[in-house]
Structure 1
């Protein structure tokens, strides 16, 4: 029997190349928002003089249109496929910040193989992603954060929960969209939550955080170039603490936080970006209780709200961030002028009609499938007033 020779239709060019990893199929926790990030990243790479290569496998996205990237690999965003592409193309580096958690999870393999990660280094991204390491960093920086502990069994989790104090948030490390997160109030609920978590995600490290009840949540998206830090936007959530940020209505700019609270958030955000040596994008989640600002988590990548802020302010933030990652430009090279008059409200989009058996009650695990934008002139707008009224009803329960 003769051997069948394989053929390869992809002929690498002699140009310098950058690979951008997409987010794969749309799913709860990440979707079309990250495709916006990838598209604008690809265009920025072209403007910087590189050959832009896209790796993604979603036919419903703009990043997989034939005329966006110089070359498209319509392949699953898995390591085995990516490694073959890297061996063939020999790129200058790979961008993982634009494709959500799916792309970010491949950073470890890239680092182990010695492939250059464009932007923030793997180790610094891992500090932000590993909730334990990140909390240790916050302690070093003297930044307040909810008390926490780690466990690998239900018995250890109960012990930690009693140390940090109920209510607690039980969650696995390295997850997408708050998967398997639960707010619990006693030992029995901790045991049930941990057993369920380990059944679906075996051998995962479990984090138990003290849950800051009845507090205000907010977030900052920023860009750091190694020298300067720019706050893209401060968004204040309308829903109370306990609702995943992806499921919360959020207002840009903040409407009810004091100037001191906003300034403190911006100060902490820059402090964290410098400590992590961020190059490009970072998203930081905050909780504000009785005037004290706590840091909940940091995401060393584009967030779901990065496109929202770019559209609301009319600024090409993804283009700017990508050129910063490439070390092609510094923030001082751009003229950034925010154009928003009034406020922009981020509205979560749900698809419960397509999933009738799903529990519609919102909590720390994300359930929305997208987001929309609504502009209002001022806080007297009837839509905003109704949202705020509903929030007050939540808090009074």
Structure 2
């Protein structure tokens, strides 16, 4: 005879999906997002249910949620919980890519996704559909193509032009992403990718060499759009955003470039019917702003911006997702003197055999925040000098 110790209540319930165990490419920053999301759910009068299997996180503390399911973030476990609890909906925007991957199954089973719909999230995730949308909106983006074999990849690379960025679709932390400059390197990269991720669609983008990277985090409620922050990367293009030092606010971009980024971000958010959070990555070359990708969820930089500006952005975004409040209901006042720098944290001392050279595949295991008064700060000047040396190679 089976025994079930979880007794469902009569309250309306919201399930929050976490990001699973800590690992490279899936930062602890998403724990911050889930924790503040749980608080917002409880404040909105719902029963907050957390699903995650990481003992290192605050979101799995026994008193953070009304109920905690300490289970792997896999569909089989989630479906059993849904059948028992019968929630009003599930939030996938706070747990990174791991949680986002379960949105398709939820859609197929008719389970409400709180916030942005699966179809709109999938447009951002599917490079082909996303590029078609950017084309319709008149927003510049690097030339791209898709392939399933090495031969197809060769043809696409010739069309878009070397150097190219080769990457699999729907992966975490830039897994197996490579920048290649000729056919020989391309063939090696594609064969390796298909060996480790068989059947995966290969995305091939023209790589905008020696350009500046930046990103925007924002909230949209369907009516109003709010830019949380514009961050400029110190490192040049080609290094994963999770491994880059990002400066808030932007320090070296022109007002026109920043305004263009914000304008494109709002157009994309409205076209995707975003309800909640979105992160958009940009490349700026010769004064022209290109969109690289959009992430329709909390990003690693969302907690960084919230702490830097002292604004409870995750609480606000969750209440927007729930439909409990609109952006106009909040009085948002940003407080930051000088600049904040997001510093990646690496653990190479624990992995002595690992290649320490940074690239498009993420290698950092966390991040820290540093505040500086102005750009004369010795720490910033050292980072900027290193960037100049990279660009001069």
In 1: Cα distance, 2:136 partner to 2:195 partner: 34
Task: Give the 3-state SS of the residue equivalent to 1:392 in structure 2.
Answer: helix
What's the counterpart of residue 309 of structure 1?
305
Q: Matches of residues 12-51 of structure 1 in structure 2 within 5 Å?
A: 12-51=8-47
Q: How far does the alpha carbon of each residue in 1:283-332 deviate from its partner, in whole angstroms, 9 at most, with x for none?
A: 00000000000000000000000000000000000000000000000000
Aligned to 1:62: 58
Match of 1:286 in 2: 282
Specify the alignment match of 1:230 in structure 2.
226
CA distance in 2, matches of 1:257, 1:31: 28
Q: Alpha-carbon deviations, 1:121-152, whole Å to 9, x = none? A: 00000000111111111111110000000000
Q: CA deviation at 1:41?
A: 0.1
Shift of 1:378: 0.3
1:373 aligns with 2:369: yes
What are the superposed Cα offsets for residues 29-55 of structure 1, whole Å, 9 maximum, x if unpaired?
112100000000000000000000000
Q: Aligned partners of 1:31 and 1:182: how far apart in 2?
A: 21
For residues 129 and 369 of structure 2, what CA distance do their matches in structure 1 show?
35
Question: Aligned partners of 1:190, 1:155: CA distance in 2, in Å?
Answer: 10
Alignment of structure 1 residues 204-283 onto 2, 5 Å? 204-283=200-279
Contact kept in structure 2, 1:25 and 1:31, CA below 8 Å? no
Q: Output the CA distance in 2 between the equivalents of 1:7 and 1:24.
A: 26
- Cα distance in 2 for partners of 1:329, 1:341 equals 29
How do 1:96-175 residues align onto structure 2 when only pairs under 5 Å count? Answer: 96-175=92-171
Is the aligned partner of 1:195 residue 2:187?
Answer: no
2:350 aligned to which of 349, 354, 362? 354
Note if contact 1:287-1:296 (Cα within 8 Å) is conserved in structure 2. yes
Task: Give the SS at the match of 1:267.
Answer: helix
For residues 320-369 of structure 1, give each alpha carbon's deviation from its aligned partner in whole angstroms, at most 9, with x where no partner exists. Answer: 00000000000000000000000000000000000111110000000000
Structure 1 residue 343 corresponds to structure 2 residue 355: no
Q: Which runs of 5+ in 1 are unaligned?
A: none
Corresponding residue SS for 2:388 = helix
User: What whole-Å deviation, never above 9, does each CA across 1:66-89 have from its counterpart, x for those lacking one?
Assistant: 000000000010000000000000
Runs of 4+ in 1 over 4 A off after TM superposition: none
RMSD: 0.4
Give the one of 57, 62, 70 matched to 1:74: 70
User: In 2, are the aligned partners of 1:152 and 1:205 still within 8 Å (CA)?
Assistant: yes
TM-score (normalised: structure 2): 1.00
Tell me the distance in 2 between the aligned counterparts of 1:159 and 1:42.
48
